[in-house]
Amino acid sequence: MREHIARKRFGQHFLHDRHVIGRIAAALAPQAGDRVVEIGPGRGALTRELLARVTPLDAVELDRDLISQLQAEFPSDKLKLHSADALKFDFCRLAPDGRQLRLVGNLPYNISTPLLFHLLDQASCIRDMLFMLQKEVVQRLGAAPGGKDYGRLSVMIQYRCAVEKLFDVAPGAFTPPPRVDSAVVRLVPHAAPPVTVKDTARFAHIVRASFASRRKTLRNNLKGLLEAGDMLDLGIDPTRRAETLSLAEFAALSNATTTAP
């Protein structure tokens, strides 16, 4: 396979460290019959390891040059390539028989957050997700209330998924090496959300509004959505900032609103 030059617009950093690749595959531990989907197979380093454990394997790749190289190396009955933008791809169509998907990949860091939100919208057909992400993003995914890492992404992910950070990965594991450390995380969609939310769209709207300006209080960020007195009735001080609220408190705020997003 000829050398493929990483393209900045695609956020390409190709994983090459055999030890890290083996750890990711071992953590996924695919079994016969699993419907595994790799997002961004790139040059195929992780793909080869996965295909040694389970076939067929679906993969979603945007770079057409890489697609042609992958097609040349892997038989189509082993690797089912989908030429598409993962941000727009309907992953649930890969599970027509009801078998939930197991997603894995070294996600492009420049689209990781919007891609995670896109996948949350399709959580009903996803069994679990094992992703390489920027270490800072992984810290935000599992952050507890009260710290600088805790934000909208933390709340929305934890409402939909259990978060388990697995291990860190140094920049030298990639070509070219990124300027940041990375980490591998496992996300498992909840069978039932950990808190009761009457309207998920309203919940998402309240969370987004609450974090609209991190320095402002709930009273200011939720103006027009919820009165200070209503917050007090819930036992929530309106002078608090969003980063101090628990998942259950965000659910309570959402359930108390009557204004649709």
pLDDT of residue 259: 54
Let me know if the fold of 8-189 is the same as that of 200-256.
Answer: no
Write down the domain spans for the chain. 8-189, 200-256
Residue 96 clears pLDDT 80, i.e. is over it: yes
Among 37-41, 64-68, 91-95, where is mean pLDDT lowest? Answer: 64-68
pLDDT class of 176 with cuts at 50, 70, 90: confident
Q: Cα(203)–Cα(196) distance, rounded to whole angstroms?
A: 10
Q: What is the pLDDT of residue 12?
A: 59
pLDDT at 3 over 90: no
Q: Which CATH number fits domain 8-189: 3.20.20.450, 3.40.220.10, 3.40.50.150, 3.40.50.720?
A: 3.40.50.150
Question: Tell me, which fold does domain 200-256 have in CATH?
Answer: Helicase, Ruva Protein; domain 3 (1.10.8)
Average pLDDT over residues 212-224: 95
Percentage above 90 pLDDT, the chain: 85
Mean pLDDT of the region 234-239: 97
pTM: 0.91
